Amino acid sequence: PLITAQIAPVDAIPDAEFYKVEAILRPWRVQQVSSALLQMGIRGVTVSDVRGFGAQGGSTERHGGSEFSEDKLVAKVKMEIVVSKDQVEFVIDKIIEEASTGEIGDGKIFLIPVADVIRVRTGERGEKAERMTGGHADMSATTST
């Protein structure tokens, strides 16, 4: 306990019941990623068109010049997927599997702890709100028993 107390709180990975997987990806790979997620029972996904720069900078896309914009910002898609903690690694692995080309500009994934989930229609909170009917949890419950 004395040793762990010396670890600065900022070094601890925030623990949460739910996490948001936020992936910045190549626009032309998003369809492939979202259908793969749907196949594994991930049904709640939010997608936005965004622009940004990273190591890829303003260099032209190897697989599609249309992604290069005049002002050096590259068109990307942001996918936001809130899942329960035990589903996080599956989602991350699947995104990498479907989105990577090995070339600079494949994107990045951020993992963000989520304090609560509230379904607007019913006012449900927590696990009840996060669970989707026929979603990943239902699918894995069916296959494991």
Binding site for ligand GLN (CB under 6 A): 42-44, 81-84, 87, 130-132, 135-137
Burial status of residue 22 (CB atoms within 10 A of its CB: 0-12, 13-18, 19 or more): middle
Maximum Cα interatomic distance, the chain, rounded to a whole number of Å: 56
Binding site partner of 80, from ligand GLN, ligand ATP, none, Cβ cut-off 5-8 A by kind = ligand ATP
Q: Which is nearer to ligand ATP, 3 or 121 (CB)?
A: 121
Give the other-Cβ count within 10 Å of 99's Cβ.
21
Binding site partner of 136, from ligand GLN, ligand ATP, none, Cβ cut-off 5-8 A by kind = ligand GLN
**Distances in whole angstroms, Cα of residue 120 to Cα of each of 36, 84, 123, 128, 132:** 27, 18, 5, 12, 14
Q: Which is nearer to ligand GLN, 56 or 87 (CB)?
A: 87
The nearest distance, CB 67 to ligand ATP, in angstroms, is 23
